[in-house]
Every structure is written in structure tokens, then in C-alpha cells.
A and B are shown apart, each in its own frame.
Chain A
Amino acid sequence: MNSIENSVIDVKPLVFPKDVLARISPDLILQRYLSLNLRPSIRSFDEFRDISVSNIDDIENEFADNVLGTNILKCGKTIIITTITASIIKEENQDETFERYYEDISGVERRRNKVSEYGSVYPVVEIERGRGNAPPSDEEMNIGQKLHDNILHSGLISKKSLKVDYGVRITDLETNKSKIIYPEEDEINDVPILQLNHYQKNLKYVLHAKITVFSRTGPLFDLCWNSLTYALQNTKLPKAFIDEKAVSLKTIIRSRGKTTELRENFNIICDTNTRVPLQLNKENIAYASNYGIVDLDYDLIDTEYEEKNNDNDKKTVLLADINTESEEEYINSSISIITNKYGNLKNIIVLGGTSKISMEILKKSISLSKIRAHDLESKA
């Protein structure tokens, strides 16, 4: 017992490298940087990371068969690859009934029906983490759902632009040459077009996006959104046609031997050679950016600070484009904005968290995102 009391314990201060300290105490390392007017990534407070955009089309000269649009977005170390594919769905004809009820409804209902004029994209987000075939993580599911909802409500894609205006392929029996006639080409002298209009079914493209993220270093929603927006802007939909003989093809389907119904087949084939750009509502193209709000806490880095300054006013700063672990871990208050360069806000999410978000901060973040959107738009 005595020997322990008498022995001298030599306490050496532990020194951690930056990366390790960022893990152990993200708040300390963040505050130390902030006190130097810098951020862990050596950016200033309202500085964004540069984004470089390219698409696979540039490299490849031609799309792979079923790929309609691509984008590769690089932001710092993070790489996001988006590819757009499509499928075709037959829509039940609801337009007439819809029109009838449209007169009676008002307010919220009307707004809700306004949304039904727009289409969306079904995104599948995959963040590479070396997990193999594990089920999707919460983050992947959240980002996917948010992307889908925001595209729908932003009114970027109207349902009209997704409609499949298919033509007919006519094969001349004598020459055995086939030719495709599209409705807009107005060759009225051809009988099949008249038939076609009669049988025109309500077909619609469904857009799918596959978003793969490599080396995640910070929040991803805004990067995924931007990548998806770029990809949609270079998406080209194929022209589609059906064979002449299939125009009026119907098959009888029996269910449980009682009812008989006629069902029309649709064997739509897409033309490999012609593609038309997807018509987006240009005024609704918007870009996303995110911000973190953090209180400067001088006590943490300077233990004597409290004694020197007695005022309780905490200084709050706005950090643009959150990245690196120490920022993401420590910052609880954040703002996420989707806007275009004119400040046409599409979505804004403010999370109060632990810091006070003042009016100035909100205004500053909106003006910053306008500048950011302007910059991102020039890269499209």
C-alpha cells in the first residue's frame, strides 16, 4: 500500500493525430479550426467545394442500349454516378373522370391534383461501403424517397412529356422494306395513321435512376439531387413504335371462367436510332445546397476565455456545404435548400438543432444558394 502512495506517477499528455482526434472529439477539432476562421477542410465558412460534371456519353460517343441519360459528378473526393433508364406503363384513362371532378374541388384538393400533372423518377441510391449485398441503409432509402418526392413536387417533369407517342411500322410486302410512321409526321394519306389514332393507348414512360456513390465523406442529398438534375437534362427518350399487325390486336382473357374481357396487347418496340430529348419544365430546374449552423465555443479551446469575457452572446456561424466527419458529426442545426438562380425556392428544410437560427442566417443561406445555383447551372 505504501509503495503505491510513494511512487510517482508520470502523466504524459497524449497527442493524437488530426484524423484520430476528429473521431474522438469532433467538437474540439472543429472549434479549434473555427477559431482560426477556417474549417477542417481548409475552406472558409461560406466556401463550397468545386463540382465537376461529365457524362459517360462524352467518353463513349454512344449510349449503351437501355441507358437514356447519364451523369458523373465529382465533388471533392466523392464521386456520384447516375444513369437513367426507363420502362413503359399503360395508364388507365382517367382524364375524363378527372376533368369532371376538377370543377367541384378547391383549395388543398386542387393543389393535390395539380401535383398529379407531374411525373417523377424512381431513384435507387447505392452508397458504396463495402457491404456487398446487404439491404439498403436508412440513408440510401431516405435519399431515394426525398429525391422522388422533390422531383414530383418541383414540377420538373410534366406527365405530358412522358407520354409515348408511338408510331406504326409498316412493312411493304412487295419490297419487304419496313418504314416507321409517327403520328406527328402527318402523313394523312396513309390509312394506318387513322387507325392508329383510334387505337392510341395511353402509354407512359416511367423513369428510373440508378445512383451510385463512391467515397462518401459528408451528407449526400444535395449532391445526389444535383447529379440527378444534370442527368435528367441530358436524358433522351427513344421513339417507340408497334408493328402494323399489332395495331388492333386483342386477346380474350377469362378470369375464373365467368367474365370475359378484351385486353389489348401492347408490344411496344423502341427505335434504336432516333432519340428525342426529354422535355423538362426549364423554369423548374433547381439545384441543391446544404448549410450547417454552429455556435463558436471558445471555452472549449481556451479555458480562460470565460473569465475574460462575461457576455453570454454566442457567436453563430453559417458553414456552407458540410463535409468531413468532424463537421457532420458535430453540427446538429442545418439548412437544406433547393432553388434556382432567381431564388425560385423548390424546397427548404431547416433543422433547429442546438443552435439558434436567426433571420440573418436564413437570408444569408438563401442568397448563397442562389449564387451556388447560378454556378451549377453554368455547368449543365
Chain B
Amino acid sequence: MNVQDRRRLLGPSNAKPIVFSAATDIQSSEPKKDESSSFILNSGLIENCNGSSLVEIRDPKVTQHQTSLITSVYGPRATKGSFTSQASLSIQLKNGSSEKYNTTELKEVSSFLVNVFNSVINLSRYPKSGIDIFIYILYDKVLSEESKKSNNISAILPYCISAITLALINAGIEVDDIATAGYYKGDVISFIKNGEEVIGYWKDEGNCESFDVALEHCKTEAQKFKNLITTHILEE
């Protein structure tokens, strides 16, 4: 049975969400070929959380995405219940302006991110506490026509990882190293220790030749993000 949520104003229940025609042949309004990439990092913009970051990235070459993420970190805060020797980590992703990704996709990504950051955050330093991280996908736009069809969430994973790292540093939570990741044709590999240690590997549909090729490409990408984050921290 369809139970109406009475706590939120969701409008009449028999209303149908609007459906758009598939982008017709009429005129697909030639996208302006703007090959410039931009990276904007900002931290500490949200008042009532422990740490926050804003990551705005436009990368027409590698990931072909233009994305803006607002990340907030709450914690370490005391958890209810029995004693635990180390902090528990939770990460949630939320769709912002458009309902682009469905909940299962977002859940999958968040569990991947939890795995990555379990090995980065010094969890044993915060016993009986919880660290909650929220990522709000303000907007996410695919820049190239061919990757528009696949609607892959994997391309924004490196941004998520950089955003969380930045927010964690802003919150003053102890991390082993600055974790970053790179993207190459559907593969996402996350590194610490100057690319010597892999802490996460995400394989998505894509025509990646072999793991070694992906590893090399991702390493250079990850290094780029790491440099960006370090310069941002030093500038602050």
C-alpha cells in the first residue's frame, strides 16, 4: 500500500512526475567547446559542523564532468550504547538539484568510500565515538556527449574522496595521509603514501585496457589532486 508521508508536503499523490522527450534530433544546441578545466577548493564554509569543504571541479578531459560537492563532517561525537574500541564511520551521499543518481547507486558509492576512509582515518584514536560525513551533490553535469548516455557515477568518485579528505582535515580529525584518487575509463583507484599504497579500487563499465595502464593514469591524477589539496591547506 502506498502510504503518504504526512510530515512533508509532497503534493497530491495522484500527480505524475513530468517526463521529458528524449533529446530529439531537432537541435541539440552544439555544446560550446570549452576545454578549460577549473578546480575550486574551499573549506570551513559551514558553521554548525566540525569540518566542511566545497569542491567544484570542471574537467573536460579526463572525467568529462563538471561537479560541485558540499561535504560536511560531524564528529567525533559520542555514540550511544556499549563501548567500542574505535570510532565508527558513516558516509552518506545526497542528490542535490537533480535526482540524478538512484539510492542504490549512492549507497554503493558510500560503502566504497567508507572502506577507503576506514583505512585512512586513525579510528582507534577516537574510541566510543562516531564520525558522520555527508556529501551533497550540488550539481553534476556531464560535459561530453558520449559519456552522457552511460550516466556513470564512478567519474565523480575522485572528487568525493578529495572532498572528504579536505573536510576531515578541516575538522581536525587525525588521518594517516592525504587520500586522493584518479579516474581512468571507468576505473577509480585511490592512493595514499605518494601513490605507493592502493586503498581502494572501483571497477565500472568502461573500456580500460589493463589494470597496469589504469594504475599509471590514476596515479598521476591522484598526485594532481594531492598537490591541489596541499597547496590549499598551506594557503589557509
Chain A residues positioned under 8 Å from B138 (CB to CB)? 56, 81
- Tell me whether B49 is interfacial, beta carbon within 8 Å: yes
What is the minimal beta-carbon distance from A40 to any residue of chain B, in angstroms?
14
- Tell me whether B10 is interfacial, beta carbon within 8 Å: yes
Indicate if the CB atoms of B11 and A206 lie closer than 8 Å.
Answer: yes
Chain B residue nearest in CB terms to A241: B21
Chain A residues positioned under 8 Å from B132 (CB to CB)? 130, 132
Chain A residue nearest in CB terms to B22: A272
- Tell me whether B47 is interfacial, beta carbon within 8 Å: yes
Chain A interface: which of B90-98, B112-120, B179-187, B219-227? B90-98
Chain A residues positioned under 8 Å from B90 (CB to CB)? 132
On chain B, the number of residues with a Cβ less than 8 Å from chain A's Cβ atoms is 44
What is the minimal beta-carbon distance from B55 to any residue of chain A, in angstroms?
14
With beta carbons under 8 angstroms apart, the residue of A79, A88, A122, A269 that contacts B20 is A269
Chain A interface: which of B66-74, B156-164, B191-199, B206-214? B66-74
A302 to B66, CA, bound (A): 58
A89 to B74, CA, bound (A): 40
A333 to B36, CA, bound (A): 53
A272 to B7, CA, bound (A): 33
Chain A residues positioned under 8 Å from B14 (CB to CB)? 89-90
Chain A residues positioned under 8 Å from B26 (CB to CB)? 273
Indicate if the CB atoms of A128 and B141 lie closer than 8 Å.
Answer: no
Indicate if the CB atoms of A88 and B15 lie closer than 8 Å.
Answer: yes
| Interface of B, helix, strand, loop or mixed by DSSP | loop
What is the minimal beta-carbon distance from B149 to any residue of chain A, in angstroms?
14
With beta carbons under 8 angstroms apart, the residue of B18, B47, B134 that contacts A86 is B18
- Tell me whether A153 is interfacial, beta carbon within 8 Å: no
Chain B residue nearest in CB terms to A129: B48
Indicate if the CB atoms of A212 and B136 lie closer than 8 Å.
Answer: yes
Q: A60-B139, A272-B23 are in contact. Are A66 and B17 (CB under 8 A)?
A: yes
Indicate if the CB atoms of A215 and B48 lie closer than 8 Å.
Answer: yes
Chain A residue nearest in CB terms to B100: A64
A128 to B92, CA, bound (A): 12
Indicate if the CB atoms of B21 and A272 lie closer than 8 Å.
Answer: yes
A205 to B24, CA, bound (A): 23
Indicate if the CB atoms of B10 and A65 lie closer than 8 Å.
Answer: no
A87 to B12, CA, bound (A): 10
Chain B residue nearest in CB terms to A55: B97
Q: A56-B139, A270-B21 are in contact. Are A206 and B66 (CB under 8 A)?
A: no
Chain B residues positioned under 8 Å from A130 (CB to CB)? 49, 72, 74, 132, 134
- Contact mask for chain A residues 281-294; partner B; CB cutoff 8 A; 1 contact, 0 none: 00000000000000
On chain A, the number of residues with a Cβ less than 8 Å from chain B's Cβ atoms is 52
Chain A residues positioned under 8 Å from B11 (CB to CB)? 87, 122, 206, 208
* CB contact list, B1-58 vs A, under 8 A: 7-12, 14-24, 26-27, 29, 32, 45-49
Q: A128-B134, A214-B70 are in contact. Are A208 and B139 (CB under 8 A)?
A: no
What is the minimal beta-carbon distance from B95 to any residue of chain A, in angstroms?
9
Indicate if the CB atoms of B24 and A81 lie closer than 8 Å.
Answer: no
Of A130, A132, A215, most buried by chain B (CB within 10 Å of CB) is A130
Q: A56-B97, A123-B9, A273-B26 are in contact. Are A89 and B16 (CB under 8 A)?
A: yes
What is the minimal beta-carbon distance from A121 to any residue of chain B, in angstroms?
9
Indicate if the CB atoms of A270 and B20 lie closer than 8 Å.
Answer: yes
Chain B residues positioned under 8 Å from A79 (CB to CB)? 45-46
Chain A residues positioned under 8 Å from B99 (CB to CB)? 66
What is the minimal beta-carbon distance from B139 to any residue of chain A, in angstroms?
5
Pairs of residues from A and B, 5 with the lowest C-beta to C-beta distance, nearest first: A64-B98, A130-B74, A215-B47, A122-B11, A87-B15
Q: Can you offer 17 A-B residue contacts whose CB atoms are under 8 A? A: A59-B68, A64-B98, A64-B141, A65-B20, A81-B96, A83-B98, A88-B16, A123-B9, A132-B90, A132-B134, A208-B11, A212-B136, A214-B45, A216-B47, A216-B48, A238-B18, A268-B18
Chain B residues within 8 Å of A, Cβ to Cβ: 7-12, 14-24, 26-27, 29, 32, 45-49, 66, 68, 70, 72, 74, 90, 92, 96-100, 132, 134, 136, 138-139, 141
Given contacts A132-B92, A206-B15, 17 further A-B contacts (CB under 8 A): A62-B141, A64-B139, A65-B20, A81-B96, A87-B16, A88-B18, A123-B9, A128-B136, A133-B92, A136-B8, A141-B7, A144-B9, A178-B24, A215-B47, A268-B18, A272-B24, A273-B27
Chain A residues within 8 Å of B, Cβ to Cβ: 56, 59-62, 64-67, 70, 77-79, 81, 83, 85-90, 122-124, 128-130, 132-133, 135-136, 141, 144-145, 148, 178, 205-206, 208, 212, 214-217, 238, 240, 268-273
